Amino acid sequence: MSSVINEIEQQFKKHAVVDVKSGDTVKVHQKIREGNKERIQIFEGLVIRVDRKTSHTASITVRRIASGVGVEKTYLLHSPLVTKVEIVKRSKVRRNYLSYMRARTGKSARLTGMAFDKEAVNDVRDLKAEAEEEKLKEEVAKAAEAEAAKKAEEEAKLEAKAAEALANRKSDGEEE
């Protein structure tokens, strides 16, 4: 039974996710759907908590100060709505859950930065997902091409009918 559950979980798990740690400053790119429009919203803040790192329910809690008010958002890393997580800064911390950061503001809220390779950490490419995306784009292009050909064929038929109708009118006009 548990193997079946694990198998299903693996289907929904992203193949490659950025290794986010507590104390990182990240930019989370999230899909927002408003009516029939879809856009990407970026939320930048400090990761104060990382939960269940190896699970498909892995989540991070990101905190930032917006207009003088602390805002915390929790994101599921393997959610299809989270398109990208980009690490901006990595800080030295000793805890997984930085709840003490909620009470700190100003200079006391600063964390000591660490040197890290930003390109190497953020370069997470999911080749399978990219291949699937490419296939979907090709299928959409083929469907659009087929639709355009069908439309052109219908227009050609309508033009032929119109030309035939004009020819019939002219011949009817000549007969009178």
The model's confidence at residue 154, banded by pLDDT at 50, 70 and 90, is very high
Q: What percent of the chain has pLDDT over 70?
A: 91
pLDDT: which is higher, 95 or 174: 95
Quick check: 121 and 62 in contact, CB under 8 A? Answer: no
Q: Is the pLDDT of residue 91 over 60?
A: yes
Query: Given a cut of 80, is residue 104 above it in pLDDT?
Result: no
HSE of 19 in the Cβ direction (CA atoms, 13 Å)?
A: 8
Maximum Cα–Cα distance across the chain:
101
Q: How confident is the model at residue 92 (pLDDT cuts 50, 70, 90)?
A: confident
Give Cβ neighbours of residue 42 (< 8 Å, ≥ 6 apart): 27, 28, 29, 30
Strand pairing report for 37-51 and 59-66: antiparallel
pLDDT of residue 19: 78
* pLDDT tens digits, 20-60: 888 888 998 888 888 888 888 889 998 988 888 777 788 88
Q: Does residue 97 contact residue 22 with C-beta atoms inside 8 Å?
A: yes
Residue 80 per-residue DSSP state: T
**Residues 27, 44: Cα–Cα separation, whole Å:** 4
What value does the mean pLDDT take over residues 135-164?
89
Give, in degrees to the nearest 5, the angle at Cα 120 between 119 and 124: 95
Q: Quickly state the pLDDT bin for 1 (edges 50, 70, 90).
A: low
Binned at pLDDT 50, 70 and 90, residue 127 comes out as: low
- Please check the confidence at residue 126 and state whether its pLDDT lies above 80: no
Size of the chain in residues: 176
Dist. CA 61–CA 97, nearest whole Å: 9
pLDDT of residue 84 exceeding 70 = yes
- DSSP conformation letters of 27-78: EEEEEEEETTEEEEEEEEEEEEEEE-TTSTT-EEEEEEEETTEEEEEEEETT
pLDDT of residue 151: 92
Which of 18-22, 58-62, 171-175 is predicted least confidently? 171-175
pTM of the entire predicted model: 0.62
- The structure tokens listed for 156 are 């050609």
